[in-house]
Each structure stands twice: as C-alpha cells, then as structure tokens.
Amino acid sequence: MNDIFSDRISDVPRSFIREILKVTLDKSIISFAGGLPNRDLFPVEDLREATMHVFEHDAKDALQYSTTEGYLPLREYIAERYATRHNLKVDPSEVLITSGSQQGLDLLGKVCLNEGDDVIIEEPGYLGAIQTFSVYRSTFHPVPVMDEGVDVDILSDVLDSCNAKLFYTVPNFQNPSGITYSEENRIAVSRLLQDRQTLLIEDDPYGELRFMGSEKKSFRHFLPKNTVLLGSFSKIVVPSFRIGWIVAREEVMEKLVIAKQATDLHTNYFCQRIIHEYLRTHSIDDHIELIKSVYLKQRQAMVDAIKAHFPSDVHHTEPEGGMFLWVSLPVNVSSVNLFNRAIEEKVAFVPGNPFYVNRHETNTLRLSFSCVDEKTIEEGIERLAKVIREFV
Amino acid sequence: MNDIFSDRISDVPRSFIREILKVTLDKSIISFAGGLPNRDLFPVEDLREATMHVFEHDAKDALQYSTTEGYLPLREYIAERYATRHNLKVDPSEVLITSGSQQGLDLLGKVCLNEGDDVIIEEPGYLGAIQTFSVYRSTFHPVPVMDEGVDVDILSDVLDSCNAKLFYTVPNFQNPSGITYSEENRIAVSRLLQDRQTLLIEDDPYGELRFMGSEKKSFRHFLPKNTVLLGSFSKIVVPSFRIGWIVAREEVMEKLVIAKQATDLHTNYFCQRIIHEYLRTHSIDDHIELIKSVYLKQRQAMVDAIKAHFPSDVHHTEPEGGMFLWVSLPVNVSSVNLFNRAIEEKVAFVPGNPFYVNRHETNTLRLSFSCVDEKTIEEGIERLAKVIREFV
C-alpha cells in the first residue's frame, strides 16, 4: 500500500522534538526543552478587548472569507513598523500574511524548489526549516554558525560549488544557538551574495526580543532585492493565532500569492482582525518591554548558573535576546546519552541532533529559558551539571 | 531571474475567479458569481459568547502553541457527528484539523503525488482542487459529472488506462454543478474502486445543507479503507476561522501529520477552541435549519425564474442542497462572451471554463444563490435571460 505515497513524504522523519516533548509532560521534570513563549506573559485582557471590538463593530466581515494576501490594514501596519523600527522601506503590497512564519517557509519551498535544488542552511539550524525543505527534496549545504554569525569562508566555497536558490538564516538570537550575526558578518555575507540570484531568507521571529547589545541591521539593507523577510506575532503577541508574514519583492510575491491560494485560500481572517485591533489600540512596545524584562532575568539566571556549575570545558553561548542558549560539550560526549541520564535526574533539554542535516550523534544541546522562573532554572542547571560531570 | 522559481509554480495560472470577483465589486451589479456563504446568517452572538467563555476559562492555553493533530475534544466531536449523522464509525485519531478543507487537498497532494501522477477529477470540478493538484504537477483525468453522478463507464475506462492515486469527488451538491451522486452511482463507483489502491477523496463542505430529497450514504460506507473524507465548518458556521478536517485511515494519517507539521505546525488553535465551545453549547442543527430555510427559498426563486425566463433549450440543474446551480447553454454559445455582455447589463456569474482542466471555451456557467435575496434573484435572472436571448 506504500505505492500511494509520494517520494517527498517518505523521506521526512517524524519530528524528534515531538517525541521529546512527550517525555517532558511529567510535571516533576524541569524542562528546558520546549520552544514555547511564556504563557504568563500573553496579553490576555488586551486581546479580549480587541476581540470584543471586532465582534461589536465589524463581525460579519471578520467572519467571512477574505483575500489571499491578508487584511490590508495589518499589512500596512507591518510595513510601517519596518520603517519606524528598522528604517526599511517596505510597501504593503510586498507583505503576504501567512499561517505562522512556518508557512512562509513552506510557500518559499513551493515556489522556488525543484527536487534536488540547492539550499544553504545554518549549522546548527532551525529544525522546522530542515523539515520543510526536506519535503521539497532539496540538497542541503550546511554552513557552520559561530559566535559572530555564519562562517564566511565556508559560505563562499559553498556558493561557488553549487547553484543555491535559497540561503536560510535566523540572524537574530538564532534558534537553536541564540547567536546573532554581527554587522560585519552581515556585510560580508551580503557581499558574497551581491551578484547572485540566491534568495536570502531572513527569518526573524525573535528580533524584537533584544535584552542587551545593539540592534543589527536587517539583510534587506544590504541586499534589498534578494532578501525575503519572514516575521511572526507568535513570540511577541500570541502563537495560537498562527499569524506571520512574508515580505518579498513583487515578482516573488506574485508567485507566493498563487501558492498561498492553492494551499489554504487565506490565513484565518478573524484573528488577523483581532491582532490588528490589538496593535491599533495598545502599545506593542510596552508589551515587548515586559516580555524582555522577564526573559532577561531568566537568561541571566541560566548563564550565571551555567558559569557556576558546569565544568569549564563546556562551551555555551551568551545570547543578547530571544529564548535559547546553546551548549557544546567535549567532542566525545553524546548529548542523546546525556539526555537519557538527565531525564532520570528530572531535567530535560533538546539534544543537538535535529538541528543538523543528517547528523545522528552530536555533543551539543539547546536550552530554553523562556518558560522557567529563575529559581527553577538554578535548580535545573544544577541537576544538569551533575549529570554532565558524569560524562566529562 | 525566472531561474529562481520551481517548475510547479510556473504552470499554475492566477485564479480566473479572483479577476471576475473584482469586476463584481460594483454595487449596481447583481452577482451570482461569488461562492460565499450568506454573511447575514453567521451566528455572531453565539460565537461571541463562545469566545468570551474561552477567554474567561482557559485563555492561556487557548493562546499557546498546540498539537499538530488539532484540539482533541474537537476531533472527538467531529468523529461523534459522523456516527450520529451518518452512522459512520470514525475514531478521533483518524481526524486531523486543517486550515480549511482547501488545506486538506494540499496535504493530500503533498503526501501522495509525485510529478506526473494520475489524478481523476470530476468534469466540471472544483477549481480549488484543480489548482492545488496542478501545483503537484499531476496528470489529470477528467470524468464527466451528470445529473445522477459521475459517468461510470468513462470512469471505468479511465481507471483501466492509468494508475490513479487519487479520485477527487464532491458527491453532495457539487461545486460547481449542484448535482448529487445517487446511491446507485456511489455503489457503482465503489465497485470500480474496490480492489484498487486509488484513494477516493470525498470533499463534503455542503452535505449538511440538504433542503429536499433524501440523504445519501457516504463513500466511506462502501469503501471504508480507501475513502478520505474532507470536511469544513466554513459553510455551516463561519469561513474566516479556516477550520476544516481530514479523516483518513491510520497509515495515511501518519503521513498527513508529518506534512501538516512541516507546513504550518498546526491550525489556529484559538479558533479551534472557540468553535468547539460553540458546538458544545449551541445547537448546530438549529443553526443549519436556519441556513437551509433561507437557501431553499433562494434556490426556489432561482429555479422558478430560470424556468420562467430562460429559453427552453438552456439546461439547468435543480440542486437538492448547497449553494450552486449549473447552466448549460446551446453548444455554440461562449459563456465568456455572455459574461462580458452580462456585466454591461449589470448581472454576473462565473463562466464554466475554470471548472474544467485545460478548457478555454465552454457553453456552461455557475450561478450561486446563497447571497442574493429572492426579489433580487428574480431581477438578476431576468437580466441574464435577456442577454442569453441575444446569444441563442
């Protein structure tokens, strides 16, 4: 009966993370494994007000089918925010509302990738991107990510050796590593891409969550035509609405709209209206400040606990924002073995494996600090340190 | 710069219907072109109550990320409704919540279709399905739909001549024709498919909107393993939530869940919660009765006006439910030419072309009666009759 399935789906494994998250449902486990924003920070009351307003003022329209591109005032808001926050000129016609930025990846795969096409991806990189582009049967070219950004020498070699259609990046507080590309690194990367057709996908779900250090310029400043921006309200407002967006130049947008229509007609319009009403009547900046103040404390607690308790030959990143931190153990330590021991000690994380293309053994792991309070972080890192010491 | 695009997207034209709908924005035009449910029938107040309940009782959960499969109590509700309404045994584990049933088509294309794979489609057929399967570059095998269902002799020949992975059907009040497969036709079709691997996709967005005649059995009664059911709340509650579902047997479901996760992680969870709360606390059956009573009157007005005013050599269907009616003009009349004249006379419809695979001239057209009141239907059909007379 397997004849019924396409080749593309036979190649994609069930998400490793899903399996891990099942293990961590045990309430006695301190989990640094999830990638969720902190639910205690959701602007529940403000969203309730915005929802009531939509029901009272324009319910019938908000409940009807709508346009594939998305609610124009929301697209205008997004374009305007790029101008005020990033000094980037984006026209609302360049903005397509998607069902989360994950769908942005799927649509880009759909409109760009033939089987076997070359895709450059960060290593470690976002596993959702690895999954999606795997479905389009792309040929992956991983390029290492280091503390200051992607390895430019390797990127240069890779670009020369293949015909990459897409280069997928999360340049701010990357998932999984937490690192941010420096401005020099962005400029160097942009120079390499300048005269090529490769589209650079700048996926930026965490960019607004900077606790420290200085804002870095978007790739769109350096590569205005070939940068595609992906954005999302999941980390700064709420995830369950699944409202994200793609910004792309006209000819790419035209194809994306066709693909979007054939995929799901349009994104949930009721929630587009709610989120627009929320943004129109509340200060998103104040709300982001609140999120940042909490995440910063938790990030600080985690970095401090790691410094206090982990063996000194364990490397870790020190993210300036976002939700994640990356740990590199001595090369001979398997993070999957560590995971199995850690669960016994009631502490969880995500082993690095799923963030690499085709790697089954790694010495790396991801820790999330978004959903755990400072005291619990201290306790969890102590537990983890104890287990690490058994392996090092 | 076209090198950046995939072959699959280069083949898909921009929707013809979108262009038509633009023309009909003119308020002086009586439009039978749209495919929208009637917004005056949306259960606004009941949904507002359900939304408030979700905010008051479980807001943080309803706003967080959720599972790829969808909200379990909603999947249980859907399974239970198949049991009570259709006497069909469906397990909640066989139900995946999708972003509208359009996404169900996309996911089925993704998990089943390699380039060139054979897909059987009704002629005329739902243009959203033609678009979606075109993106997967399937080879279409259209089989004519007649008043009692699909042409079984041609279906038999087609099945013998190719290796169809999918057979896409809308057996109740089909879009665009309004016809319903008789029970004999369903049994004959099922016999042909019995010992084959072909999946029969029963897309049933309108099935609950039966005004007259008797309920027909789902294909799942006759082909339990190889029938995939697509459903949607768009036509019986509201469309903007984009909540639909797929029912498929376990091994197909497993692939669909992987594809869904790589596509958009999960469907808008907030609206899954709202719709479940609405269904839990209100009578959907009473609401459906209300929709049916209005659509029946409008369907009656349209059929009556057609009989009174159209030339007798114009054939039309007499749907027992749904939103659409199909008109066949004498063979030498082009419905696109008719459309252009009709717009001048301030009446609009959808010419038949987009409902056929690769047909640029047709003598058929689709009329929707869902959104136009009886008096306006009478007026619009009179205008259309006048134009038709010029052509016949």
A137-166 confidence digits (pLDDT tens):
999 999 999 999 999 999 999 999 999 999
Helix (H) / strand (E) containing B367: strand B364-368
CB atoms B262 and A8 under 8 Å: no
Lowest mean pLDDT among A33-37, A269-273, B81-85, B385-389: A33-37
Q: Identify the pLDDT of residue A15.
A: 67
Check B265 against A5: CB less than 8 A apart. Answer: no
The alpha-carbon gap from B269 to the nearest alpha carbon of chain A, in Å, equals 5
What would the two tokens of residue B132 be? 């979606």
Q: Which of A66, A197, A264 faces B240 most closely, judged by CB atoms?
A: A66
CB contact under 8 A, B106 and A8: no
* Model-level ipTM above the cut of 0.90: yes
User: Cβ of A4 and B270 within 8 Å?
Assistant: no
Going through B195-348 in order, the beta strands assigned E by DSSP cover 199-203, 227-232, 243-247, 315-316, 324-328, 347-348
Q: Are B263 and A267 a contacting pair at CB < 8 A?
A: no
How far does the CA of residue A351 sit from the closest CA of chain B (Å)? Answer: 20
Q: What is the 3-state secondary structure (H, E, C) of chain A?
A: CHHHCCHHHHCCCCCHHHHHHHHCCCCCCEECCCCCCCHHHCCHHHHHHHHHHHHHHHHHHHHCCCCCCCCHHHHHHHHHHHHHHHCCCCCHHHEEEEEHHHHHHHHHHHHHCCCCCEEEEEECCCHHHHHHHHHCCCEEEEEEEECCEECHHHHHHHHHHCCCCEEEECCCCCCCCCCCCCHHHHHHHHHHHCCCCCEEEEECCCCCCECCCCCCCCHHHHCCCCEEEEEECCCCCCCCCCEEEEECCHHHHHHHHHHHHHHHCCCCHHHHHHHHHHHHHCCHHHHHHHHHHHHHHHHHHHHHHHHHHCCCCCEECCCCECCEEEEECCCCCCHHHHHHHHHHCCEECEECHHHCCCCCCCCEEEEECCCCCHHHHHHHHHHHHHHHHHHC
Cβ within 8 Å, pair B240-A65: yes
Contact (CB<8Å) B51/A51: yes
pLDDT at A228: 98
Token output for A255: 């194809």
Q: How confident is the model at residue B25 (pLDDT cuts 50, 70, 90)?
A: confident
Chain B partners of A245 at a C-beta cutoff of 8 Å?
none
Instruction: Give yes or no for residue A264 having a pLDDT over 60.
Output: yes
Taking an 8 Å cut-off on Cβ atoms, the answer to whether B264 and A99 are in contact is: yes
Tell me the pLDDT of chain A averaged across its residues: 95
Average of per-residue pLDDT across B338-359 = 93
The CA distance from A381 to the nearest CA of chain B, in Å, is 25
* pLDDT tens-digit readout, A126-144: 999 999 999 999 999 999 9
- What strands, in cross-sheet order, belong to the sheet with B315-316? B315-316, B324-328, B364-368, B350-351
What are the tokens at A179? Answer: 């690192």
What's the Cα-to-Cα distance from B23 to each of A144, A258, B29, B339, rounded to whole Å?
Answer: 52, 19, 9, 11
Residue of B nearest to A60 (CA): B39
Question: Residue A240: its chain B contacts at CB < 8 A?
Answer: 62-66, 268-270
Least CB–CB distance from A106: residue in B102, B134, B262: B262
Q: What is the pLDDT of residue A34?
A: 87
Cβ–Cβ below 8 Å for A6 and B199: no
Answer whether A352's CB lies under 8 Å from A176's CB. yes
pLDDT of amino acid B237: 98
pLDDT value of residue B34: 86
pLDDT of residue B41: 98
pLDDT category of residue A1 using cuts at 50, 70 and 90: very low
8 Å CB contact of A264 and B63: no
Beta carbons within 10 angstroms of residue A26's beta carbon: 11
Confidence of residue B1 (pLDDT cuts 50, 70, 90): very low
- Chain B CB contacts of A128 below 8 Å: 262, 265
Nearest CA in chain B to A252: B5
What pairs with residue A351 in β-bridges? A365
Task: Rounding to the nearest 10 degrees, give the CA dihedral for residues A373, A375, A381, A387.
Answer: -120
Amino acid making up residue B78: I
Residue B176 has pLDDT above 90, yes or no: yes
Tell me the pLDDT tens digit for each residue of A289-345.
Answer: 999 999 999 999 999 999 999 999 999 999 999 999 999 999 999 999 999 999 999
| A14 vs B59, B112, B258: nearest CB | B258
Nearest Cβ partner for B268 among A42, A106, A268: A268
Question: For residue B40, which residues of chain A lie inside 8 Å, CB to CB?
Answer: 60
Task: Tell which wins on pLDDT, A18 or B161.
Answer: B161
**pLDDT computed for residue B358 by the predictor:** 80
From the list B47, B99, B110, the residue facing A8 with the nearest CB is B110
Q: Which chain A residues are within 8 Å of B111, Cβ to Cβ?
A: 5-6, 9
Query: Would you state the pLDDT for residue B13?
Result: 65
User: Å from B61 to nearest chain A CA?
Assistant: 8
CB contact under 8 A, A1 and B251: yes
Kindly report the pTM of this predicted structure: 0.96
Residue B338: how many CA atoms within 13 Å on its side-chain side?
A: 31
- Residue of A36, A47, A132 lying closest to B262 (CB–CB): A132
CB B107 within 8 A of CB B259: yes
Q: Which residues of A touch B252 (CB under 8 A)?
A: 4
How many angstroms separate the Cα of A25 from the Cα of each of A34, A387, B369?
A: 10, 20, 51
Chain A hits for B261, CB-CB cut-off 8 Å, are 15, 18, 131
Asked if pLDDT for residue B11 goes beyond 80, the answer is no
**Chain B interface mutation, best of A1, A4, A102, highest count of B Cβ atoms under 10 Å:** A4
Helix or strand run (H / E) with residue B64: none
Distance of CA B153 to the CA centre of its chain: 25
| A106 with B36: Cβ contact below 8 A | no
CB contacts of B240 in chain A (<8 Å) are 62-66, 268-270
Contact A239 B165 (CB under 8 A): no
CB contact under 8 A, A64 and B36: yes
Residues of B in contact with A14 (CB under 8 A): 254, 257-258
Q: How large a percentage of chain A has pLDDT more than 90?
A: 92
Q: Please state the rounded mean pLDDT for residues A210-217.
A: 96
User: In the predicted model, is pLDDT for residue B2 greater than 70?
Assistant: no
CB contact under 8 A, A263 and B60: no
User: If pLDDT is split at 50, 70 and 90, which confidence band does B14 have?
Assistant: low
Which residues in chain B have Cβ-Cβ distances shorter than 8 Å to A255?
5, 9
- Residue B52's closest chain A neighbor by CA? A48
pLDDT at A13: 65
Cβ-defined contact of A264 to B102 (cutoff 8 Å)? yes
Is B64 close to A238, i.e. CB distance below 8 A? yes
Residue A2, pLDDT > 70, answer no
Contacts of B114 in chain A (CB under 8 A): 6-8
Among A4, A9, A264, whose Cβ lies nearest the Cβ of B110?
A9
- pLDDT beyond 90 at A197: yes
Q: Nearest CB to B268: which of A8, A61, A240?
A: A240
CB contacts, 8 Å: B197 with chain A: 1, 3-4
Nearest CA in chain A to B258: A14
Residue A198 burial by Cβ neighbours in a 10 Å radius (0-12, 13-18, 19+): buried
Residue A302: per-residue pLDDT: 98
Q: What is the mean pLDDT of residues B89-109?
A: 98
Q: Considering only alpha carbons, which residue of chain A is nearest residue B53?
A: A48
Whether B110 and A6 lie within 8 Å, measured CB to CB:
yes
CB contact under 8 A, A128 and B265: yes
- Rounded average pLDDT over A267-281: 98
Which residue of chain A comes nearest to B106, CA vs CA? A263
Q: Cβ A44–B63 below 8 Å, yes or no?
A: yes
pLDDT at A361: 82
